[in-house]
Amino acid sequence: MQITWLGHSGFRIEIEEAVLLVDPWLTGNPMFPAMAEDQAIQGATHVLLTHAHGDHAADAARIAKKLGIKVHCVHEVSEWMNAGDLAETVGFGKGGTLTLGGAKVTMVNASHSASIDYLGGPLLPAGSAAGFMIAGEGHTIYVSGDTDIMADMAWMAEYHHPDIGILSCGGHYTMDMARAAWAARKWFNFRWIIPCHYKTFPILAQDAGPLRAGLPPGIEVIEPEVMEPIQI
């Protein structure tokens, strides 16, 4: 398995026979080198969206059309993209599981707002925010999406048993590093945690020190570097 950070909350996840682009916001992303787009998306098989805010979704339809692949997202965003002929989509809902190139992708809850906010006009309703459990190659990855701590994490951890956490924990818009550490030690049994939704802007956390400090021994915090693959 190979996980590559694309900056902010964007990831390229190579698992089983799938190459998943999760929240691939590249255009205007201060963390992402613009000249690296072709490398970042090469061979991708599916796009996954946690929610429709521009710092997650603004490039999703464009990239999907460029590659001839589908966007997998909450039903309302799927319908909006279809109505505008923006991209081919697969809409599903929380609790739904898709098999994508041998990987099992389940949409789970997240505690966050959701709207289409990057078109320059009024905000458009866009269903609700979500996370994903991605299972394959003997591992389960919890992609939290934008969220705060929530009680749902207890049953999600018990039911799905994720050993890898990709956690939005930059604060201000999502849980911060200390809150993410609290949730991880209370409910999860992670072997690896990869922080995200941080460093992008000055208002967000700039390092994962408080996350690492709040965790018990045995959990490896991997602070990713953009476009440098992580092998697990």
**Percent of the chain at pLDDT above 90?**
94
Whole-number average pLDDT of the chain: 97
Q: 139 lies in a domain?
A: yes
In tens, the pLDDT along 193-214 reads 999 999 999 999 999 999 999 9
Q: 162 lies in a domain?
A: yes
Q: 198 lies in a domain?
A: yes
pLDDT at 161: 98
Could you give the number of structural domains in the chain? 1
Q: 232 lies in a domain?
A: no
Q: 228 lies in a domain?
A: no
Q: Of all helices (H) and strands (E), which one includes residue 179?
A: helix 177-187
Q: Which two tokens mark 4? A: 């590559």
**Distance between CA atoms of residues 1 and 26, nearest Å:** 22
Q: 158 lies in a domain?
A: yes
Q: 231 lies in a domain?
A: no
In tens, the pLDDT along 62-78 reads 999 999 999 999 999 99
Question: What is the sign, positive or negative, of the torsion defined by CA atoms of 124, 58, 72, 179?
Answer: negative
Q: 229 lies in a domain?
A: no
Global pTM reads 0.97
In tens, the pLDDT along 10-68 reads 999 999 999 999 999 999 999 999 999 999 999 999 999 999 999 999 999 999 999 99
Which CATH number is 95's domain given?
A: 3.60.15.10
pLDDT band at 121 (very low <50, low <70, confident <90, very high): confident
What is the extent of the structural domain holding 168?
2-223
